[in-house]
C-alpha cells in the first residue's frame, strides 16, 4: 500500500501519447517538465497543496525519447516543496542530459548550493501562484537571488497575468537572468493587443535579462484541445518579438489539469503554429535552452 494517495480529482498523465507529426530539430530540449516522487521513495512535502500520481524519471526520459527530444530541464514541482531529492536523483540518472531548477529557502548555504550545482541545477524557481504555495516575503527571495547569482544561475518566476502589476518592479529588479513560466499566464480571452498582455510584453521589452517560456497552451486555452487556437496569437507574438529569449517545454506530467490531460504528441505539433520557421524553431528548441543550461557546449 502506497504512503500517498493522489487527490480524488487528479488527472494522471497519458501513458499512450500520439507520435508527433512535427519533427523537432536535432538536439531539442524540453525545457519545462517535472518528476513526482515516486512518493514512496521521495515523499511529497507536508506543506504541499496537492498530491499527484507518481511520475518517475524513467517515465520522463522514455517520453523524451518517444517525442524526439534530446534533453530535459526538470523544474522542482511544488508538491516536493524545497526537498529537491527527487529532482537531484533524476538529474544524476540523466547522463548529463538533464538540468534542473530547484526550490530553495533563504537559509541555504553555499555548500548546499554547490551540491545542487554539481547535480546539474542551474536555477531556482520563485512561485507566486497562490493555489500552489504560501507567499514568501520578497526580502527572502532577494536573499536567495543574491546567493545564486555568483553561480551564474537564473530565476524562474511563475505568476498569474492579473498579478503582474503588483510584482512588476520586483521582477524588473532581479539581478540575474529571469525566465517567466507560461508567458505569465495571460487571460487568452482578452486581446493579444490589450493592456494585460501589453504589460507582459513591456516587461520583456524593457528588461533584456527576462526570458519567457511559451509553454502550456493546454493550461491557458479556453477553446480547448487539441488545437488550443486561442493561445496561438499570444505565443507566436512572444516568439517573434523575442526569438532569442524563448523556451518551450511539455510541462509533463501536467499537474493540476482539471478538464483534460493533453496528448504530449499533439503539444509538440503545436510548436510550428507558434514558431513558424525552421530558424525560429531551432532558436526555441535548441539554441536558447543550450545557451542557458549547457553554455559550456555552445560553440
Ligand atoms: C506547471 C504548473 C503548475 C504546477 C506547478 O510546481 C507545480 O506544482 O508548476 C500549475 O498547477 O499551474 O508549470 O507545472
* Structural domains of the chain, ranges and CATH numbers in brackets: 29-294 (3.20.20.140)
Ligand 1 center to 77 CA (angstroms): 6
Work out the pLDDT band at 299, boundaries 50, 70, 90.
low
Q: Is 278 helix (H, G, I), strand (E, B) or coil?
A: helix
pLDDT at 50: 98
Clarify whether 251 is annotated catalytic. yes
DSSP run (H or E) holding 198: helix 195-206
Taking the C-alpha atoms of residue 18 and residue 38, their distance in angstroms, rounded to an integer, is 25
User: Which pLDDT value is given to residue 178?
Assistant: 98
Radius of gyration of the chain (CA): 18
Ligand 1 centre and the CA of 252: distance in Å? Answer: 10
Across the chain, mean pLDDT equals 97
Written as nine digits, the cell of 72 is 530535459
Q: Which residue has the least CA distance to atom 13 on ligand 1? A: 251
Neighbours of 124 (CB within 10 A): 27
User: From ligand 1's centre to the CA of 126, what distance in Å?
Assistant: 12
pLDDT in tens, 76-115: 999 999 999 999 999 999 999 999 999 999 999 999 999 9
Closest ligand 1 atom, residue 182 Cα: 13
% of the chain at pLDDT higher than 70 = 99
Catalytically annotated residue among 251, 264, 269, 287: 251
pLDDT for 147-159, tens place per residue?
999 999 999 999 9
Q: How many CB atoms lie within 10 A of CB 176?
A: 18
Query: Mean per-residue pLDDT for 41-62?
Result: 98
User: pLDDT tens across 118-146, in order?
Assistant: 999 999 999 999 999 998 899 999 999 99
Amino acid at each position: 500500500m502506497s504512503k500517498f494517495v493522489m487527490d480524488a480529482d487528479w488527472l494522471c498523465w497519458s501513458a499512450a501519447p500520439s507520435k508527433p507529426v512535427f519533427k523537432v530539430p536535432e538536439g531539442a530540449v524540453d525545457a519545462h517538465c517535472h518528476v513526482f516522487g515516486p512518493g514512496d521513495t521521495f515523499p511529497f512535502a507536508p506543506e504541499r497543496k496537492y498530491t499527484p500520481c507518481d511520475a518517475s524519471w524513467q517515465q520522463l526520459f522514455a517520453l523524451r525519447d518517444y517525442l524526439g527530444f534530446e534533453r530535459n530541464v526538470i523544474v522542482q514541482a511544488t508538491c516536493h516543496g524545497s526537498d529537491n531529492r527527487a529532482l537531484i536523483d533524476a538529474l544524476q540518472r540523466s547522463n548529463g542530459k538533464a538540468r534542473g531548477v530547484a526550490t530553495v529557502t533563504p537559509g541555504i548555504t553555499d555548500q548546499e548550493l554547490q551540491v545542487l550545482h554539481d547535480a546539474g541545477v542551474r536555477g531556482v524557481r520563485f512561485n507566486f501562484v497562490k493555489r500552489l504555495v504560501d507567499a514568501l516575503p520578497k526580502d527572502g527571495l532577494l536573499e536567495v537571488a543574491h546567493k545564486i547569482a555568483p553561480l551564474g544561475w537564473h530565476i524562474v518566476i511563475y505568476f498569474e497575468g492579473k498579478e503582474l502589476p503588483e510584482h512588476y518592479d520586483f521582477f524588473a529588479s532581479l539581478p540575474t537572468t529571469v525566465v517567466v513560466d507560461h508567458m505569465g499566464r495571460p487571460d487568452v480571452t482578452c486581446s493579444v493587443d490589450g493592456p494585460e498582455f501589453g504589460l507582459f510584453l513591456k516587461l520583456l521589452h524593457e528588461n533584456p535579462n527576462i526570458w519567457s517560456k511559451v509553454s502550456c497552451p493546454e493550461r491557458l486555452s479556453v477553446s480547448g484541445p487539441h488545437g488550443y487556437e486561442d493561445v496561438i496569437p499570444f505565443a507566436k507574438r512572444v516568439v517573434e518579438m523575442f526569438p532569442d529569449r524563448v523556451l518551450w517545454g511539455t510541462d509533463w506530467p501536467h499537474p493540476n489539469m482539471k478538464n483534460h490531460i493533453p496528448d504530449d504528441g499533439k503539444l509538440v505539433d503545436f510548436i510550428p503554429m507558434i514558431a513558424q520557421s525552421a530558424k525560429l524553431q531551432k532558436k526555441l528548441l535548441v539554441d536558447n535552452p543550450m545557451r542557458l543550461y549547457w553554455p559550456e557546449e555552445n560553440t
